[in-house]
A and B are shown apart, each in its own frame.
Chain A
């Protein structure tokens, strides 16, 4: 290979070099850009009128699920799975004699509506933020990683209306088999009432701190099954942030506002004019141990045969983007991707609505699929004296307490 001895100026040299990136590039997809134009204009308008909030959160997370969501049915199935697992159930607690606590809790008792952002797991960069507007038994929900999808959840009828705004697509999702989901505000009220009636309930004052950019006073309510931390405005006693750690799941509710007037139409279960309707039924009846194992198998197979780092809901949310990417790489047909999406949903539901005694244990991080010697998960089914232990080859054995993996 001979080099031409002709002198090249600096400009010529850079033109030669950089021309290499200008060749054979992907031409603009005008259809895509036209669709994006309308979608981006809506987001611009929403952000411009609503300054802060969840819209800002999504810079690093918007692409989560995009690949999995190229098929609308899969998209709906995947979104529904997340919608379901993050529906909050706050469990029973104790009581307090603190006047300030009483004042704070009274606001929850009296609230008719609520607006809040929910984060599952620890808050950090890349956390998926679920924005809820709540009125009676209905929740209007958006998620930072699926920005153009709005869902209206009716807890009374166990039905979800999902609207994909950019494509003007609507779908009703009937949630067959889900555990009962009480009215959200009633749940909160029940919690407070139980607190008041339980003489063993203790509340610890955490003093004042800056929380989410504002001064707030904190209360930590402890109960054997759950710890609840409420941060409230020191002047008005209105709760602004609620952190709940129960079982093996942490839920953070932030930017909490009660009794904000909201129009009924926001919670309408009617399909808006101009939307194309699809009907989807998710059979979520009793996610079983086998469903859980199948999900473990899929998750390992997607990642070079290695089991995931964690299997809690927040771990799944964090891994969702990578899972979507891997599914996309497989080049599967729509139907197959939908089936995989449903299987992963049921896998997730087993953990979210865990029915065993005590806690589940997962130690599969880094273990290879097929490793028959290494236990990766164990739990004690309800009413059982022994544990179910799942190994790296996905075999299951009944094991007594003394023989559990160390």
Chain B
């Protein structure tokens, strides 16, 4: 009985770990691809789209509770966004886009 439980726990842990590792490696590959040098026009378009997306996420997340704050220096903004990530349970992706938008 004891061995069965340990085995089951180990198998579940292994399966989840493998899944997570596979996910991590695929996302790393994707990140590498996206980080590859591109022509400046593409980079500019990407920056513009991230700016628009960041602004959208800023208004939909932050504007739910309070008036839009001004932009603070980047290092202050990093602390504020970390605080708000915890308090308002903002997703990691939203937090990154908001931080990027607020520090541009």
Please say whether chains A and B are actual partners in one complex.
no
- Tell me the B residues contacting A by CB distance below 8 Å: none
